[in-house]
Structure 1
């Protein structure tokens, strides 16, 4: 693993080249205690190789219109981080396919068409609002995942937990970029809220369809115990997520107001001292205030 240090004026963004290991024996239920959460995350991951290139394309289309050199540079750094994200998720998604899930192809085709259509038929202003809406939602999700990391990822496969937590640490790092570009070029409160609601509804709808298909393949969708577990899990997630989403809808919201979790800052420090270790977190010790890496050669 390696890194390229960049910044938003304060040197807070870093483009990291990560490596994650997925054991050959790993099933789609990489968190065996929480198969329903595994499939929610798997379904969300399937969107990344289509959503994030769409975000990159939107930002690149916006770039020539920006008259602020610092904002242009920050946009470039955001693009570099997002490019790393979708490449890593594509690798993970290929691992899921190799484990025999037949529904993945149709899910990916639908996602590819969704983002092709949005990019081709909607205005730049709409696409910037969607990008800002997604990034605001991702910031809220990242805070929720980190705060509840022990429950959601405890004792799960290190490679997958490390992938997801790395991704959302970087979502927190670049939390203000899409907002700044949107405000610079298309800033309007009602357009921003429309973008937030549209992006949130679209992504959650496609994610639900994805995890439903995957759980059907597992034989769990019609298992009442699994459905109860899924319902309780979703209640837990949305109980934490809803206040964070409502905060975004305040007229004078700015992502800079959202404090970075201490654990996310500690993860960034771990990467600087042990960049390989940041990709193999010890999921038995996620309740520690700082991330702990597995020893070299140790697997989880």
Structure 2
């Protein structure tokens, strides 16, 4: 694990960054819109748990700190993408985002740390599975027409979801060690998030159909149904496997091209030092 100073420039980004499959792009665009609320929630939860770890768990403490730094860079880049999405229309996004923001605030205020930790562990169980689908199972990304900053954002983000896949799980077990509560976290967090992801993606797709950005609504529906079918065919058996009492996220196989994606992100999108970004004064 390492912290990568990634700062993606979306000035040339396209709304439909998979132009032959705009429904795929809009599903992931919709997913992006709630991450600046989810990931700070995850960070606050993991940060609160660091001091609850046994003193000898120094390696896990450091992994937690790297996790927090990685997630922080994720949501800051997604916030920039989301500004571009709002500027592209979609007036209903604000209310959808506000609902998720309110949910995470309510969890922290009313439910307590164990509840938040169970949710975080549930999300982080789903994260590397979705990452593997995106990196090796999403055929929409294999087309020559896909060359966009948003594709790089998601590849980098999801590769790091795989990289820090063990952190929330290990922290949860070190503090609470409850198999049944862990199952609850997965069973609650997965539909809570996937419901938002699918619903918001469909909202944006329907707006595009109304405006004419997406032509031929019936072909669009077929493409979306095919994408969802492949997504759930991929993730459901892997989620079921993750429910085993001896599940260890470190045993998950590395997605294809995972390290190449991370190297590409650092080569293309590493934050430039201030001295390099601006000319020296004369």
Whether TM-score is above 0.5 comes out as: yes
Misfit runs of 4+, over 4 Å: none
Correspondence for 1:63 among 37, 43, 50: 50
Relative contact order (C-alpha < 8 Å, sep 6+): which is higher? 2
2:247 is paired with a residue whose SS is coil
Structure 1 portions without partners, runs of 5+:
1-12, 280-300
SS at match of 1:219: helix
The corresponding residue for 1:74 is: 63
Aligned pairs, number: 263
What is the DSSP-based 3-state SS (H/G/I as helix, E as strand, rest coil) of the residue aligned with 1:28?
Answer: coil
Secondary structure in structure 2 of the residue aligned to 1:92:
helix
**Is 1:276 aligned to 2:253, yes or no?**
no
Structure 2 match to 1:256: 250
The equivalent residue for 2:278 is none
- The aligned residue for residue 50 of structure 1 is 37
Aligned CA distance change for structure 1 residues 170 and 118 (closer, same or farther; 3 Å): same
Alignment of 1:60-209 (within 5 A): 60-67=47-54, 68-152=57-141, 154=143, 155-209=145-199
Distance 1:136 1:87, change over 3 A: same
- Helix, strand or coil for the counterpart of 1:44? helix
| Distance 1:214-1:140 versus aligned 2 partners, 3 A rule | same
Aligned partner of 1:14 in structure 2 is 2
Is the contact made by 2:131 and 2:162 (CA closer than 8 Å) also made in structure 1? yes
TM-score by length of 2: 0.87
Match of 2:230 in 1: 236
Secondary structure of the structure 1 residue equivalent to 2:3: strand
Structure 1 contact 52–83 (Cα < 8 Å) conserved: yes
**Cα distance in structure 1, aligned partners of 2:209 and 2:37:** 28
> Cα RMSD over matched residues?
1.9
Aligned to 2:10, what secondary structure does the other structure show? coil
**1:225 alignment counterpart:** 219
Residue in 1 that maps onto 2:200: 210
Measure, in 1, the Cα distance between the counterparts of 2:147 and 2:105. 33
Please say which of residues 141-150 and 196-205 is displaced more in the overlay.
Answer: 141-150
Which region of structure 1 is more displaced relative to structure 2, 60-69 or 195-204? Answer: 60-69
For 1:220-246, what per-residue CA distance to the aligned partner results, in whole angstroms no more than 9, with x for missing partners?
699222112211111111111122111
The answer to whether the Cα contact below 8 Å between 1:267 and 1:278 also exists between their aligned partners in 2 is no
Q: More deviation in 200-209 or 152-161?
A: 152-161
Q: CA deviation at 1:61?
A: 1.5
Question: 2:14, 2:148 within 8 Å by CA — same for their partners in 1?
Answer: no
SS state of the match for residue 100, structure 1? Answer: coil
**1:35-63 Cα deviation digits (max 9, x unpaired):** 11111101110111000000011112112
Moved more, 221-230 or 196-205: 221-230
**2:156·2:262 contact (CA, 8 Å) conserved in 1?**
no
Aligned mates of 1:165, 1:269 — CA distance in 2: 11
Please say which of residues 216-225 and 168-177 is displaced more in the overlay: 216-225
Q: Distance in 2 between matches of 1:149 and 1:219?
A: 23
